[in-house]
Structure 1
Amino acid sequence: MFRDEDLKLLARPLYALLTVAPRGERWPAPRPVWFEAAPDGTLQMFSDPGAPKLAQLRDQPRASVVVTAPVGEPEHWVSVEGTVTLHDDGGAELAARLADRYYDMSVPAHQQLVEEWKAGGMTRLVLHPEKVNRFAA
């Protein structure tokens, strides 16, 4: 579902804004997350196993993400909607891989955080795209 220009944007260390169905009377509230476009055409993210968004995804396994180029560059964004599956395996490995993409891993505090993620385990979220919207100036 992704075009070449989508994949170029998604390969950059940008934040995705993840939106899941809210509880009760709350409004949807996007959260910035690290992500990876996987070779199988999915988007993969990770989360602490106790995060409220995971409870919401268990109730309603659908979400959307938006990734956009930063200010100062030509407008370019990709929006993805789809179902989400949650996995107990691969979350810590994904978190460590993404830390290399998003963090300066020579910083001891970053190294410590990744070790904590590995020790505590992370849940892997896999967004299976059903609809992709995009814009590139």
Structure 2
Amino acid sequence: MSTLTAHDIEFLQRPLHGFLSVAATPLPPQPRPVWFEATAAGTIELFTDPDSPKVGRLERDPRASLVVAAPATERERWLSISGRTTVEPGGAPELVERLAARYWDLDDPARARALDELRAGTWLRIVLHPERVSRLDF
């Protein structure tokens, strides 16, 4: 299946880490944990530093995949989403704000300071356009 279902979106709205792999690399894929957001349009968005190696790799080959799994304390469930990406200059600061609020307790002074540091950064938005979605839920 190539699209995310309503059940998938509900799962992806939880503050789970995704593991992103990009295609253009001289080594086997090296997944990295990332914060992400599933959008109403059916895409997945994340942010990254413009100097991140993944930006150059995605410019050479825009294919990527994201794997998201439920915690080990729950029934087994995972999604694997692969497709082409676009790297967007706009919308990243707003995405940083939404994701920080989703993943962190911003009443914690240490997390609030960390968000201030993120706000001071320069970010790009990566949009993953699903072409293939695999799932397991039992």
**Do the two structures share a fold, i.e. TM-score over 0.5?**
yes
Q: Which residue of 2 aligns with 1:119?
A: 120
- Give yes or no for contact 1:67–1:78 (8 Å, CA) kept in 2: yes
Q: Which residue of 1 aligns with 2:78?
A: 77
Most deviating of 63-72 and 111-120: 111-120
Q: Which residue of 1 aligns with 2:14?
A: 12
What secondary structure, in the 3-state scheme, does the structure 2 residue paired with 1:135 have? strand
Q: TM-score, structure 1 length as denominator? A: 0.94
- Give yes or no for contact 1:48–1:123 (8 Å, CA) kept in 2: yes
Q: Which residue of 1 aligns with 2:40?
A: 39
- Give yes or no for contact 1:22–1:29 (8 Å, CA) kept in 2: no
Tell me how far apart the structure 2 counterparts of residues 91 and 118 of structure 1 sit (CA, whole Å): 10
What secondary structure, in the 3-state scheme, does the structure 2 residue paired with 1:41 have? coil
Q: CA deviation at 1:115?
A: 2.3
* Letter of the 2:64 counterpart: A
Q: Any stretches of 5+ residues in structure 1 without a counterpart?
A: none
Q: Percent identity?
A: 45
Q: CA deviation at 1:22?
A: 4.5
Q: How much is the aligned-residue C-alpha RMSD, in angstroms?
A: 1.1
Tell me how far apart the structure 2 counterparts of residues 132 and 49 of structure 1 sit (CA, whole Å): 27
Q: Please list every run of at least 4 consecutive aligned residues from structure 1 whose deviation after the TM superposition is greater than 6 angstroms.
A: none
Q: CA deviation at 1:23?
A: 2.5
Q: CA deviation at 1:119?
A: 2.5
Q: CA deviation at 1:86?
A: 0.4
Q: May I ask how many residue pairs the two structures share in their alignment? A: 136
Tell me how far apart the structure 2 counterparts of residues 109 and 130 of structure 1 sit (CA, whole Å): 39
* Letter of the 1:127 counterpart: L
Q: Any stretches of 5+ residues in structure 2 without a counterpart?
A: none
